[in-house]
Amino acid sequence: ARERSRLPAPGAGLTSDGVPIGLQANILGAGEAGPAFACGAEGIGLFRSEMLFLDRDSAPGEEEQYQAYRQVLEAAAGRPVVLRLLDVGGDKPLPYLPLPPEANPYLGRRGVRWYALHPDLVRTQLRAAARASAHGDLRLMIPMVAEAAEIRAVRALMAEAAEAPLPLGIMVEVPAAALNLEALAREADFLCVGTNDLVQYLFAADRGDARVARASHDWHPATLRVLARIVAQASGRPLSLCGEMAGRPGLLPLLVGLGFRTLSLAPALLPEARRALARLDSARCRDLAERALASEDADAVEALLREGAGQGR
């Protein structure tokens, strides 16, 4: 019992030396918000709104979207909710709004690039979000941003659709965005690293094809160097990481060592992440990350992770 009393409060992540690490949840639908908070989420770091739009015959209208977003905000009870604007195209086509055929959908009109084709759909989503924002702390996030002009274009749509603008952040998941982050950070209110796509594009390896996409790409020094650069160039903007790699407890020493202080992951993985963080020492994590950044390949990083696996215990 004495041991327990020293554990952090249910929601908070804390390293053994007391560095707070925000732990938020990735959710697919409004119904997942309640269970996510029951798992101790400190907020919703990624609400993948496109799931509302898939597997149906027509787009959800403003009222239906408003109800869904409001449900999440009410479950959040004042905690932040990041609603990702529609991220379709690529592997997620909308049957009722077919795109012209593309030879490489992952390199085609997906995410924000799709908005110019269907601005009305985006305006409807922005209107629903603006209405729902009366019920909590709602922030919007743009997927697949490569250039600052794309952020300005969404801000312009928001100005048309909503009376008061909501905080507008971006997914950092296109390598060009990661490598030009200072310019993008000037236009964005917050940044969230999507390692699933970032790694796919860094390695030119389809994330859904296990023959080419290796799990080890997540801890490959090439990936870590881009992540380190993102942390260094975030320009004081709130920064989080919501790719699947945040949900692997074995990689937390690297993420903490690189300087990430807010992570968003699948709700069911939150308790284990919290326990894993409590075993870490931030200075040792920093040292590990430095050595990993100087490594030659993923195997070498894996060896470092194994070496340090017992830290703090």
Could you say which of 94, 157, 184, 242 contacts ligand PEP (CB under 6 A)? 242
Query: Is residue 265 within 8 Å of residue 247, measured between CB atoms?
Result: yes
Phi, psi angle pair for 262, to nearest 5°: -140, 130
Q: How far is the CB of 260 from ligand PEP (least distance, A)?
A: 14
For ligand PEP, which is the closer residue by CB, 130 or 266?
266
- Extract the tokens encoding 294: 């100087």
For Mg ion, which is the closer residue by CB, 197 or 281?
197
Q: Is 32 in the site for ligand PEP (CB under 6 A)?
A: no
Scanning 21-29, 112-120, 186-194, 246-254 for contacts with Mg ion by CB under 5 A, the matching segment is 186-194
Could you say which of 22, 45, 60, 243 contacts ligand PEP (CB under 6 A)? 243
Query: Is residue 194 within 8 Å of residue 243, measured between CB atoms?
Result: yes
Q: How many residues bind Mg ion (CB under 5 A)?
A: 3
Of 124, 167, 121, 118, which is closest to residue 142 (Cα–Cα)?
A: 167
Of 87, 84, 65, 75, which is closest to residue 132 (Cα–Cα)?
A: 65
Could you say which of 194, 247, 253, 267 contacts Mg ion (CB under 5 A)? 194
Give all strands (DSSP E) within the chain, no chain letters.
13-14, 20-27, 44-48, 80-84, 137-142, 168-172, 191-193, 239-241, 262-265
For ligand PEP, which is the closer residue by CB, 197 or 281?
197
Scan residues 83-122 and list those touching ligand PEP (CB under 6 A): 87
CA distance 172 to 189: 13
Which x/- pattern, by CB under 6 A, does the window 153-182 give for ligand PEP?
--------------------x---------
Query: Is residue 75 within 8 Å of residue 140, measured between CB atoms?
Result: no
Q: Is 262 in the site for ligand PEP (CB under 6 A)?
A: no
Q: Is 65 in the site for ligand PEP (CB under 6 A)?
A: no
Could you say which of 32, 50, 150, 197 contacts Mg ion (CB under 5 A)? 197
Compute CA 51 distance to the chain's CA centroid, rounded to the nearest angstrom.
16
| Residues of this chain that bind ligand PEP (CB under 6 A) | 46, 48, 87, 173, 194-197, 242-243
